[in-house]
A and B are shown apart, each in its own frame.
Chain A
Amino acid sequence: MTQEAQETQSVLTPEVKAMIGVEGELVESWGTVDVEYLRRFTQAVMDPDPRYWDVDFAKTTHYGEVIVPPIMVSYMTGRIRPDQDDAITKAFQENPMSDGIGNVERPGALPEIPTHLVRTLNAGNEIEIFQYPSIGDVIFFQNRYHDIRERVGRDGKAFLIITREVTYTNQNKAVLCITRQSSIRR
């Protein structure tokens, strides 16, 4: 704990510290990595790389097959499964001025951090890439509280920096990529 934090009221309580390393359940994303999602994604990110669509060329490359942007599979985690309620309709039934996201429950979510701090700001993102996904891959993901730190703002009040890590693996348990998102909780 910093000296400044000692002089103010610490928010890095033992209960908060105990959340470091806590993992969510391992979740299988709906569907598989397919060429149509790959086409839509690479066109939307505006990457014309033939490694994504030219099968014959892809076979001659270092990777030997069509590759897939690792970050693409990270968005598969947000898919609403067809056996779930229609989350959008539900969001607008609950709040006609819904922001379009609503309070959709996501599978594999982590338990809430036990803190009175409620205001959340995005503090940064990281991505670490190990392997390109392949067409046909089944994607699994698992959340984890990677780190929680305390800082003191200019106003003298302590706040938390919470880093949530998501590991993406395929059906062979190969790690494809890891993303980390840090958020400030004031």
Chain B
Amino acid sequence: MPVPSLHHDVPALRTENLTKRYGRLLALDGLDLSVAAGQVFGFLGPNGAGKSTTIRLLLGLARPTAGRAVVFDVPAQDVAAAHAHLAYVPADVALWPGLTGAEILALLAAVGPGTDLAYRDELVERFALDPSLPGRAYSSGNRQKVALVAAFATRAPLLVLDEPTSGLDPLMEQQFRAVVRAARDRGQTVFLSSHQLAEVEAVCDRVAILRAGRLVEVADVAELRALHRTEVTAIVRGPVPDLRSVAAVEGLQVDVPAGGAAGTSRLRFTLTGAPAAALRALAPTDVVSLRLREPGLEEVFLGYYDSARDGGDQDARVAP
């Protein structure tokens, strides 16, 4: 089932001042977000940041205190129309204990936005799911597989996935990434809330980071990569070159390397942007060794998580 091209003209998802208050707790504070059609969009944030609340508002499962959410130009509250464009995998998949996996898949296909049955069979194979077991017999990972198979088999133009891989083993996680890429290649939009930073780095085109109910960053993954600073460690023999005048160099430290030969010095600095100037400054020196280290995107993400400490958010702590 091809994805209607009409969907590429309008954002798959849009929220305007979306706000949700539970009594005294402000779970979501004026979220403005737009997800272009055809993207794999990562939705990150510490526990309690408001990710699942956002998704429940997008699905009309919860009613916003203020603001609105729109799915392909259909108000999220109009679920009969909005949900014809989307499929959903909840964070905590609960299945009917008395229905078998096959029965649950049949029911979800019957009520869902239309299912590609041949692809569903393929997905059952790929995720190594045994659909003959009753719902109560599935482990949490297998419950997630049932929901993932049902959602990816729909070919809905928007897939809303709330921490879909928290119970999957590494092999299944690989399958998941492949299936997400296949969905994007088909033109589907994937809205992926996740704590698996490596997974987000691997599959997402763009990410939003939520903290304490507020949006703190929306950026293309490529942009975030460009923000990378390279950590450089150089050991030189003889006179130490003067790098302070090089604009791209920051945090320069010079010391004697542990166990290094006499007359050697260790230079450590971070490099932002093009390395040419720094390399030119090092070139005349007798460089014994040069090590460049690129921190992964994970560390960039963690930086956003961690700065929650400054905001005093108790839930938003990530262990170092």
Q: Do A and B bind each other?
A: no
* Interface of A toward B, CB cutoff 8 Å: none
* Interface of B toward A, CB cutoff 8 Å: none
